[in-house]
Each structure stands twice: as C-alpha cells, then as structure tokens.
C-alpha cells in the first residue's frame, strides 16, 4: 500500500484539470464551469437549510417542522455535495457528477419527500464510493484513497440506515465516520508528511481500524461503539499531531500560518470530541452531552478544517484563485470561541449559554462564506493564481509566477 509521495502537493481535483492540458494559471483564468457552480450552489442551499433545521433542533426556530433532518442535511447535503464534487473533478469522468447531483438534489427533495430524498442520498454515497474505486484502479493502492473509500462507505451506511427509519442520533457515528475519514484521507493526500516509518504507518492503520469498527457497531452496541470510536479518534489525533507539517508551517506568515492554525485548532477539537465519545461510551450522561460530542467534532474539527482547506480546494474545483485576506482570522476566531462557549455550556447543562453560542456558530459560518466569495471575486479580478493556494501551505509551490 503506497503513501502519498512528496511531489503530490496539488489537490487531486487540480491535478485532473492540469492533466487535461490546462496549466494552473490558465485554469485560473478560464471561465467557471457552470455545472460545478450549480452543484456548489446546491451545497450552499444545504448549508442554509442545515442551519435553519439546526436552530429548529435547538428549539429556537419553530416554523420548520423537520428538525431531525438537520444532521443529514448538514453532513450529506451540504458537505457531502462539496466533497462529492471535488471527487468528481478529480476523477474527470461525467458519471462522477451523478454523486454531487444526487446529494445536492436531495437537499431540495428531502423537504418534500423524505423517502425519495433518502434514496438520492444513498445513490450519491454509492457513486462517491465508486469514484474512489475508479481512482484506486487507476494507480497504486494509495492509503489515503482507501481511507477515503471507508469514509464514503460510512456515508452509504448512514444513508441506508436513515432510509430504513433509524433516528438522527443513531446514524451520527457513521456521519462522523464519513467526515473524519474523508478529511484524514485528504490530509494524507495533501500534506507533505514527514514520511513516517512502516511500523508507524501500520500503527495509524490500526487506529483507523479501531475507529471504523467503533462507528460500524455503534448502531447496535452504542456504548462499545462510542468507546472504540473515541479511542480510535484520540489515537489518530496523536498520530497526526506528530507527523503533520502544520506544526512547522505555523511559523510561516500569510496563508501557511492561517491554514496551520486551522488544522491544529481542528485537531484540538477532535481530541475533545474523542474524550466525550469515550466518556459516553463509559456511561457518562447529561442533558447536553450529546450536543457537545457532536459539535466538538462537526463544528470544531470539521469546519475549522474546511476553513483551512478552502483556499486549496475551491480554486481547484471552480478554477477561481482565492486571495488570502488576513480578515479570514475573524470567522475562524469566532468559530473557535463560539464552539468553546457551546461545549462549556453543554458540559455545564446551561441551555441559555448554549443558545448564545449557537448564534455565534451561525455567524462564524456565514462570515466565512461571505469572505470566501469576496476572496474569490478579488482573485478573479486580479487574474492571478496564488501559488500558495494550490500547494500544501508551507511547502515549495508547484508553480510560481
Ligand atoms: C451552525 C449551527 C448549528 C446548530 C444551531 C446546530 C444545532 C444542533 C442541535 C440542537 C442538535 C441536537 C443535539 C443533541 O443531541 O442534543 C444537533 C445535532 C447534530 N448536528 Fe448540529 N448544529 C449546528 C451546526 C452543525 C454542523 C455544521 C454540522 C455538521 C457539519 C452539524 C451536525 C449535526 C449532527 C450530525 C447532529 C446529530 C444528529 C441530530 O441530533 O440531529 N451541526 N445540532
């Protein structure tokens, strides 16, 4: 099984575009592919609907009844569509777009027909899994692709259980598995890890295996599943903290430092979530403990990672260079502070403080989206391709002007 070699510093989506004969700089100047933009907009609708249902889930917004759609829409409708789109671009085959089209479409359909929407989500998960199989068949048995394939299979499992009538809490470990495994796989692919020894790589695979076993059994043996999943999470965080370049790139100014702060902050929240998985696995209970377990991972870890990777992934998908704006620290700080308040409120059982924190979470999310649009518009006006945008922050650029 091969490890991503150090020269593979571009996201696979960008590699696909450049392999198609377009240089990164030409790609940056090309028009935005309409179909990709439409799919991205569908994902954006998923974010809006996911936030709205989240507020309903917290009892703040009452007009929307289907509050239990929140987790599915946020994870599969919003982030799933973005991830499926990036994978389809990486594959470079028309059928790959069926994945983001189905998950993006499901966002609209779920509201009117849950069974049809659930079938679309299941179909999307299957297409994304097949995308990884196709990518694996193209080259080596890359470890990061195998890990991401496991993540896509967790998506399929969550969608199948949801279709069969399982409640939102029961599919949460699988939803977490989809995002954790995808992000960790992406991290391995993008990062110039200080290539660890074989025994260390084997240790990492064992930790991934423990986590996968935990999320796979959690639907039937909740405590055991959470305990194993939490131990797997904690082990993976320790491993990634040791080998991720972010610890070094944090000393470099500009985008590399910003991305490194996003990544290290994200690992911190993953560790917090891991501790909560273990605690709940051992029987700890509290009125808001599940909220803490869920959002330390989905908001603290996932969204911090999204903020750190957006300047790399979005240009590759949309062919729009993003200019790094130092004001990007504002939504990032708001995210981390509001998640910290939320988790503290959850642990203290304070609904009032949690409600306050929820508004901070929402503000951070939308500030990030607005800022990404501004950064893309600026980048497009300048017509420049920022080398740092397409490389792992802190490493030698793939192309330079
Ligand atoms: C931005 C504001 C958000 C609000 C107001 C919100 C609110 C909530 C609430 C109140 C719950 C129920 C927790 C419990 O069990 O007591 C919940 C659960 C959940 N949330 Fe969020 N959330 C937000 C963001 C997110 C994001 C960004 C994601 C994913 C990326 C996410 C994924 C989930 C999942 C998977 C669950 C568990 C399933 C469920 O109980 O519905 N949430 N959320």
Distance CA 369, CA 366 (A): 5
Note whether residue 113 is domain-resident: yes
Interacting residues of 110 by C-beta distance below 8 A, sequence separation 6+: 66, 69, 72, 73, 77, 117, 118, 121
Distance 97 CA to ligand 1 centre (A): 27
Does 299 sit in the ligand 1 pocket, CB within 6 Å? yes
How remote is the CA of residue 300 from the centroid of ligand 1, in Å?
Answer: 12
pTM greater than 0.95: no
| CA-closest residue to ligand 1 atom 23 | 54
Per the CB < 8 A criterion, the answer to whether 212 and 235 are in contact is: no
Confidence at 320, pLDDT banded by 50, 70, 90:
confident
**Is the CB of 74 inside a 6 Å radius of any atom of ligand 1?**
yes
Domain for residue 202, yes or no? no
Q: How many CB atoms within 10 Å of residue 52?
A: 20
Closest alpha carbon to 122 in 164, 160, 91: 160
* Containing structural domain, residue 124: 31-190
What average pLDDT does this structure show over 303-310?
Answer: 94
Is residue 235, in this structure, part of any structural domain at all?
A: no
For the stretch 152-173, pLDDT in tens is 999 999 999 999 999 999 999 9
Residue 120 lies in a domain: yes
Predicted local confidence at residue 394, as pLDDT? 33
Does the pLDDT at position 390 exceed 50?
no
Tokens standing for residue 226: 């959470």
Torsions phi, psi of 113, nearest 5? -140, 105
- Helices 12-19 and 304-318 pack at an angle, to 10 degrees, of 10
Residue 140 tokens, joined:
């080596």
Closest CA to 148 of 176, 184, 122: 184
Which pLDDT does position 279 carry in this prediction?
98
CB 298 within 8 A of CB 336: no
Establish whether residue 169 lines the binding site of ligand 1, counting it when its CB lies within 6 angstroms of any ligand atom.
Answer: yes
pLDDT tens digits, one per residue of 178-235? 999 999 998 887 665 566 778 888 899 999 999 999 999 999 999 999 999 999 999 9
Query: Per mean pLDDT, which range of 44-58, 176-190, 224-238, 291-305 is the poorest?
Result: 176-190
Give the per-residue pLDDT at 280: 98
Question: Is residue 241 predicted with pLDDT exceeding 50?
Answer: yes
Say if 24 falls within a structural domain.
Answer: no
| Residue with the larger pLDDT of the pair 258 and 193 | 258
Taking CA atoms only, the protein residue closest to ligand 1 atom 16 is 291
Task: For Cα atoms 19, 7, 91, give the angle at the middle one, nearest 5 degrees.
Answer: 35
Q: Which residues of 181-208 are buried (b: 16+ CB within 10 A; e: fewer)?
A: bbbbbbbbbbbbbeeeeeeebeebeebb
Q: Is residue 67 part of a domain?
A: yes
What is the distance between the alpha carbons of residues 158 and 121, in angstroms, rounded to a whole number? 9
Regarding the beta carbon of 291 and ligand 1, being less than 6 Å apart is answered: yes
Average pLDDT, the chain: 87
The answer as to whether 244 is a domain residue is no
Residue among 270, 343, 255 at smallest CA distance from 305: 270
Taking the C-alpha atoms of residue 38 and residue 42, their distance in angstroms, rounded to an integer, is 6
Judged against a pLDDT cut of 80, whether residue 60 lies above it is answered with yes
SS3 64: coil
* Residue 324 pLDDT > 60: yes
Tell me whether residue 115 is exposed, middle or buried, using C-beta atoms within 10 angstroms of its C-beta: 0 to 12, 13 to 18, 19 or more.
exposed
Q: What is the pLDDT of residues 119-130, one digit of tens each?
A: 999 999 999 999
Q: What is the mean pLDDT of residues 143-158?
A: 96
CA dihedral 84, 163, 300, 235 (to 10 degrees): -90
User: Domain for residue 209, yes or no?
Assistant: no
68 within ligand 1 shell (Cβ under 6 A): yes
The finding on whether 75 has its CB within 6 A of some atom of ligand 1 is yes
| Of 186-190, 307-311, 337-341, the least confident | 186-190
Q: Which pLDDT score, from 0 to 100, does residue 312 have?
A: 80
The total number of structural domains that make up the chain: 1
CB 259 within 8 A of CB 275: no
Q: Number of C-alpha atoms within 13 angstroms, CB side, residue 43? A: 22
Percentage of residues in the chain having pLDDT higher than 90: 67
CB under 8 Å to 385, separation ≥6 — which residues?
24, 25, 27, 28, 315, 321, 399, 401
Asked whether 79 lines ligand 1 (CB < 6 A), one says yes
At 207 the pLDDT is 96
- Looking at residues 19-37, what average pLDDT do you find? 62
């Amino acid at each position: 099984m091969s490890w991503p070699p150090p020269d593979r510093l571009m996201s696979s989506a960008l590699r696909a575009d450049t392999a198609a004969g377009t240089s990164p700089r030409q790609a940056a100047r090309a028009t935005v592919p309409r179909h990709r933009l439409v799919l991205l907009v569908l994902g954006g609708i998923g974010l809006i609907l996911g936030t709205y249902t989240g507020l309903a889930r917290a009892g703040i917004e009452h007009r929307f009844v289907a509050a239990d759609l929140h987790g599915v829409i946020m994870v599969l409708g919003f982030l799933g569509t973005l991830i499926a789109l990036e994978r389809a671009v990486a594959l470079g085959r028309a059928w790959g777009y069926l994945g983001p089209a189905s998950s993006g479409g499901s966002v609209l359909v779920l509201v009117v027909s849950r069974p049809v929407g659930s079938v679309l989500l299941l179909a999307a998960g299957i297409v994304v899994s097949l995308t990884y199989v196709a990518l694996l068949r193209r080259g080596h048995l890359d470890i990061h692709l195998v890990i991401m394939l496991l993540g896509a299979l967790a998506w399929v499992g969550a969608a199948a259980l949801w279709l069969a009538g399982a409640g939102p809490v029961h599919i949460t470990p699988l939803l977490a598995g989809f995002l954790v495994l995808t992000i960790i796989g992406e991290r391995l692919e993008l990062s110039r890890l200080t290539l660890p020894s074989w025994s260390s790589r084997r240790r990492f695979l064992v930790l991934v295996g423990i986590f996968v076993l935990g999320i796979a059994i959690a639907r039937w043996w909740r405590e055991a599943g959470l305990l194993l999943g939490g131990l797997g999470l904690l082990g993976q965080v320790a491993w990634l903290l040791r080998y991720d370049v972010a610890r070094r790139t944090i000393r470099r100014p500009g985008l590399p430092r910003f991305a490194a702060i996003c990544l290290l902050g994200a690992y911190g929240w993953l560790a917090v979530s891991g501790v909560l998985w273990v605690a709940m696995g051992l029987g700890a209970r509290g009125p808001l403990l599940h909220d803490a377990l869920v959002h330390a991972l989905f908001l603290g870890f996932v969204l911090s990672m999204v903020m750190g990777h957006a300047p790399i992934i979005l240009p590759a998908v949309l062919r729009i260079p993003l200019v790094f704006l130092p004001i990007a620290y504002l939504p990032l700080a708001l995210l981390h502070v509001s998640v910290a308040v939320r988790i503290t409120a959850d642990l203290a059982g304070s609904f009032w403080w949690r409600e306050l924190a929820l508004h901070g979470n929402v503000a951070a999310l939308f500030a990030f989206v607005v800022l990404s649009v501004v950064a893309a518009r600026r980048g497009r006006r300048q017509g420049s391709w920022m080398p740092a945008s397409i490389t792992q922050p802190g490493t030698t650029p793939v192309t330079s002007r």
